[in-house]
Structure 1
């Protein structure tokens, strides 16, 4: 069966399991015209080698100013003035501005620093499990609400220096502002209300860190603006990116990893019996079903060739990290969850200058989260058939907002 032109990337069936479609796309070539639910057309890159080359292609820029009128006519980007105030962050910048901004956050997420905080992260995970209710067969528990949505945010607050009283007031739904709706959408008013609420919260964070110590990441961002190293828009955009992109993807990755493990009970048994296997297992779970399904937009400043396909200037180019991570030319038995996969050059955290600066932290969070849940929740299992799980409709992300589970009696916390 031939592929439609453009290929629609939408619908519940697609979000539940996009991999059969990605397999067809890879087999047909590395670049395809696709259409998103908003009506935006884009060029999708699918193969592993093509993804590596695209993610490091100096011709492709991330700044939205490079987008052409066709893209702007349908892309549901954040409205003004919020777009100018909250979108001047790493994901939408190119060198040298990107280089300058990234330098401000790399120390906070350095592998050695976050590894030193591992005991504190473990205490957070254990405290959350301690607070979880019993979950017998008649009373399933939503693991997202009780754990997966809370653990990454509490860890992030520790790492960036978010004061506890403000951390307690953060609303998870503010993270949905990265999924804007068009001006004629019935949900536009609710979306803009979330946006205004998050802006107000960021202003409170700035005020609190201005009067507190400046030896953490938030304090340095606020001080950097006060000394002229950053503009106010750069400061607020960076805080916005930390609060939203710094924790929601880890929440989603916990859910995708657990669902993969629930489908592979043998893997669960091995991870319980062989704790030393968990770091490698996390890498395989990241490859098998990444929370960042697609990258954000990239644009050519001039018409050009992309892997043999002519792409007009300003058209959006997107890389499917999930499709690249299951490329049979790079991975043996790519659809299988293989905990013994020794060589695993997955692209779950991207590649090139936009490689995720929080990758080391995310890896530790996933190791702790999965290890704690497996160790302390005997009999952990899905409470509904897997086909009843609703995947989030976000264009770029994979995960679920609700994960009903059963488990046995909670074991005691370790040491």
Structure 2
């Protein structure tokens, strides 16, 4: 048994350990059997992550929905207690104070004030106007793939498409967009102070921080009608602090790319495992809007939410939770709850209604949801249309899922196809 593996957990509810370990390759490959047993045992469970952080995990749909809207639960890291802070592997100072005051870690009224700056940039009407350009970006990436398979759809498509879209939406100039290092996005994956990988983590952090400073300086000298320019102007007008500006750009660059990259891979893997549905989607592109929401529900790239905290000792669905302990919602477990979704473990591309929680709920509902849905529609349509015979080129069990704590996806997706149309 390696450090990345955990002892097997039995199939029955009574066999669940205390706390439940959320670690190991089997768990990352398929967390759903464990989530099913946890839902059956109750809505809230004490869990432990690879870093040693203990948390309270919410697993059922109704419990998750309520927790996401619970005004008692705050997102600001200042609420975390010493037990959480000792093992949470949060960013070192000064970077934590400089880059972690973005929307995901803010509560009202700060959250309300900051969120209004990004809402219009990701509004559905604006996303709709960008669709022709998004299709051009997707086609250009497919044009660069080999004439025939095999190919790695992460390296050749999924790792680049979301960032190129993001650059267009927020106003990141091409010369700066070309210099963005995807590895910088890994700074959101916790690396503890004693971890041998900590120096690499900190180097990435410094690189990203320097990049953000370049973006701000460029936009200050080249104002335009785009989101980045408006954020810089808000800082110059005293409406945002420097830390808020840098943190919001940090969130845009990281949260606006990697989750969509991962969602493209989870969606494709789900379709490869259901070849009849893949063929149907290729033949009936009108199904794409419903199919995208079903693929988001079936296996979401946002597996777990980020931390939430009670300011005082509280009760959560009958479970006593100490103040400052981390509370995390399992979006994937909620989206497979049979009490909310009929046949939840089946992929039904025509499922309706489909009130999944892949983008969260409440005040922290993902502001980029409309853009993410559009990216997934265009990515799937382009790949299925232009790569006839698209299929997985390795055995399913050889897929290597990323070890990220909160997300699902794969860094490589080897595929085959008949030709590039």
Normalised by the length of structure 2, the TM-score is 0.96
> Is the counterpart of residue 107 in structure 1 residue 117 in structure 2?
no
Give how far 1:180 is off.
Answer: 2.8
Tell me if the contact between 1:214 and 1:223 (Cα under 8 Å) persists in the aligned partners.
no
Q: What do the CA deviations read for 1:19-59 (whole angstroms, capped 9, x no partner)? A: 00000000000000000000000000000000000000000
Q: What do the CA deviations read for 1:361-386 (whole angstroms, capped 9, x no partner)? A: 00000000000000000011111001
In structure 1, distance between residues paired with 2:80 and 2:328: 13
Corresponding residue for 1:410? Answer: 420
In structure 2, distance between residues paired with 1:249 and 1:229: 29
Q: Which runs of 4+ in 1 moved over 3 A?
A: none
How do residues 310-325 of structure 1 correspond to structure 2 at under 5 angstroms?
310-325=320-335
Given candidates 283, 306, 313, the residue that maps to 2:316 is 306
SS across alignment from 1:317: strand
Q: Where do 5+ consecutive residues of structure 1 fail to align?
A: none
SS across alignment from 1:107: helix
How do residues 10-409 of structure 1 correspond to structure 2 at under 5 angstroms?
10-136=23-149, 140-409=150-419
Give how far 1:130 is off.
Answer: 0.7
In structure 1, distance between residues paired with 2:292 and 2:104: 24
SS across alignment from 2:104: helix
Give how far 1:320 is off.
Answer: 0.1
SS across alignment from 2:276: helix
Tell me if the contact between 2:148 and 2:420 (Cα under 8 Å) persists in the aligned partners.
no
Q: What do the CA deviations read for 1:128-177 (whole angstroms, capped 9, x no partner)? A: 101111334xxx21100100010000000000000000000000000000
In structure 1, distance between residues paired with 2:21 and 2:151: 35
SS across alignment from 2:121: coil
Q: How many residues align?
A: 408
Q: Where do 5+ consecutive residues of structure 2 fail to align?
A: 1-11
Give how far 1:215 is off.
Answer: 1.3
Structure 1 stretch displaced more, 289-298 or 209-218: 209-218
Q: What do the CA deviations read for 1:326-367 (whole angstroms, capped 9, x no partner)? A: 000000110000112111000000000000000000000000
RMSD across aligned positions (CA): 0.6
